[in-house]
């Protein structure tokens, strides 16, 4: 097991479009275990491979309170969406910044599991938000891009200042 470094916005590598996983093998399963460890340690409720500079379509999610609900999704797709909800979002790649984003209330997701088998599930509420947030990462999109240009510039300024202090 290993903790992986998380890219910080506005790192341009966060805008890379991830490629589909061609074969679910031990290297992919090891990456998923390391991503889960990194997510729990952060702590966060989701992590996309893009955030650890691996540009393959893999995400881990756990919205449970006791680490009992790990979901690993390979090549995930949203095949149905309905309704609307506004949630205060945060992101491990944009530490300390929280703002409201409007998303679908319910989604149906199709993905491969760690055995390479296709499965589908319905998500709503926070799980649906997290799925949409993570799939955006795989397409190179960070939640702050839904905010106004003014807010995005303020966030870039804040994070740059923080990076200078921590460096
Ligand atoms: O830990 C996280 N919390 C969160 C809260 C509201 C909406 C989305 C998220 S995802 C985030 C982890 C992360 O950055 N995943 O990409
Ligand atoms: Ni995120």
95-117: b (≥16 Cβ within 10 Å) or e: eebebebebbbbbbbebbeeeee
Mutate to test the pocket of ligand 1, among 130, 134, 140 (most ligand atoms within 8 A of CB): 130
Confidence of residue 54 (pLDDT cuts 50, 70, 90): very high
Q: What DSSP designation does 21 have?
A: P
pLDDT beyond 90 at 74: yes
> Among candidates 39, 105, 95, which has minimal Cα distance to 72?
39
Ligand 1 atom with the shortest distance to the CA of 93: 14
Angle among Cα 134, 138, 140 to the nearest 5 degrees reads: 110
Average pLDDT over residues 106-129: 98
Ligand 1 centroid to residue 90 C-alpha, Å: 5
Q: Are strands 99-103 and 46-48 parallel, antiparallel or unpaired?
A: unpaired
21 CA from centroid of ligand 1 (Å)? 23
**Average pLDDT, whole number, for the chain?**
97
Ligand 1 pocket mutation, candidates 6, 42, 91, criterion most atoms within 8 A of CB = 91
pLDDT at 75 over 90: yes
Kindly report the protein residue whose alpha carbon is nearest to atom 6 of ligand 1: 89
C-alpha span between 138 and 61 (Å, rounded): 14
Among the residues of the chain, which ranges form H helices?
A: 26-41, 125-138, 149-166
76 lines ligand 1 (CB under 6 A): no
Which of 13, 53, 20, 14 has its CA nearest to residue 35? 53
Q: Which ligand is nearest to the CA of 98?
A: 1
pLDDT over 90 at 124, yes or no: yes
pLDDT digits (tens, 9 = 90+) for 28-44: 999 999 999 999 999 99
List the beta bridge partners of residue 80: 108
When pLDDT is averaged across residues 135-160 and rounded to a whole number, the result is: 97
The strand pair at 85-89 and 46-48 is best described as unpaired
How confident is the model over 21-27, as a mean pLDDT?
98
Would you say the CB of residue 47 lies under 6 angstroms from ligand 1? yes
134 included as an active-site residue: yes
The proportion of the chain whose per-residue pLDDT surpasses 70, expressed as a percent, equals: 99
| Nearest of 33, 38, 16, 155 to residue 89 by alpha carbon | 155
- Sign of the torsion formed by the C-alpha atoms of 121, 79, 60 and 149: negative
- Evaluate if residue 111 carries a pLDDT over 90: yes
Q: How far is the CA of 92 from the centre of ligand 2 (A)?
A: 5
Which residues have their alpha-adjacent CB atom under 5 A from ion ligand 2?
91
Terminal Cα-to-Cα distance of the chain (whole angstroms): 27
167 pLDDT higher than 80? no
């Amino acid at each position: 097991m290993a903790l992986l470094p998380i890219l910080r916005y506005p790192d341009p590598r966060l805008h890379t479009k991830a490629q589909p996983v061609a074969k679910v093998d031990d290297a992919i399963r090891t990456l998923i275990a390391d991503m889960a460890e990194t997510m729990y340690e952060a702590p966060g409720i989701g992590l996309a491979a893009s955030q650890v500079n691996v540009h393959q379509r893999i995400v881990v999610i756990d919205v449970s309170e006791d680490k009992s609900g790990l979901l690993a999704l390979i090549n995930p797709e949203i095949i149905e969406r309905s309704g609307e909800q506004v949630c205060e979002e945060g992101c491990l790649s944009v530490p300390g910044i929280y703002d409201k984003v409007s998303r679908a209330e319910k989604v149906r997701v199709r993905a491969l599991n760690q055995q390479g088998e296709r499965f589908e599930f319905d998500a709503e509420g926070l799980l649906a938000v997290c799925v949409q947030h993570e799939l955006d990462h795989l397409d190179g999109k960070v939640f702050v891009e839904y905010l106004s240009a003014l807010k995005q510039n303020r966030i870039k300024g804040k994070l740059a200042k923080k990076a200078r202090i921590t460096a």
